[in-house]
Chains A and B, each alone.
Chain A
């Protein structure tokens, strides 16, 4: 059965810390891995990864995919209180998308 597992499920850190969120997957016919940030309501797109070893960056956020070991990480450096959110990982196939349960990140001022 296809599955996407995120860890940790919950994380509390202080402002300025660096965090690493993990996403492992077992999905047949993999096409892409996507990261979303969900603050209150609507998830917003962060990254789409399709190739191993190529880091994608957007400001303080970065992500990389390892298709051999079947995982991805999302790094956030110099965290700010505005980074507090649920971070969702999803794996897309041609016929479906499988979401992980998310990591709830809370940044303390």
Chain B
């Protein structure tokens, strides 16, 4: 089965700790994206990558970092510099880069920082 997997589903961390969220896809998609979703809010783009070893900041990149060493993987690190990290994080991919195309989403990771 092709798709996007995110792990873990739920993650709890203490304030001040960095945490890394996993995103893996076996769809052979070139582009991958990270979004944050807060209650009553739309999805907001954190980072995106259109090809391996390259990525760009989205609208709310501060306090986050990513890497794209493999086509299949796009992990997101939430650093201690992120002021309000508790949120639902969604990873997505698309066949080609750009934002005018259908994106396939993973099941998400709900991060709670206390």
A residues with CB within 8 A of B: 4, 9, 31-32, 34, 36, 41-45, 48, 50, 88, 90, 92-102
Contact in complex: B43, A99 (CB < 8 Å)? yes
Residues of chain A contacted by B58 (CB below 8 angstroms): 96
Contact in complex: A32, B105 (CB < 8 Å)? no
B residues with CB within 8 A of A: 4, 40-45, 58-59, 90, 98-108
Residues of chain A contacted by B90 (CB below 8 angstroms): 42-43
The minimal Cβ–Cβ distance linking B48 to chain A, given in whole angstroms, is 9
Which residue on B lies nearest to A101, using beta carbons? B42
Contact in complex: A92, B98 (CB < 8 Å)? yes
Of B4, B43, B100, B106, which one neighbours A88 at CB under 8 angstroms? Answer: B43
Which residue on A lies nearest to B105, using beta carbons? A42
Of A36, A94, A102, which one neighbours B100 at CB under 8 angstroms? Answer: A94
The minimal Cβ–Cβ distance linking B32 to chain A, given in whole angstroms, is 13
Of B4, B40, B42, B108, which one neighbours A4 at CB under 8 angstroms? Answer: B42
Beyond A36-B105, A99-B43, 14 additional pairs, beta carbon < 8 A: A9-B40, A32-B101, A34-B103, A41-B107, A45-B102, A48-B102, A88-B42, A90-B42, A90-B43, A92-B99, A96-B59, A96-B99, A97-B99, A101-B42
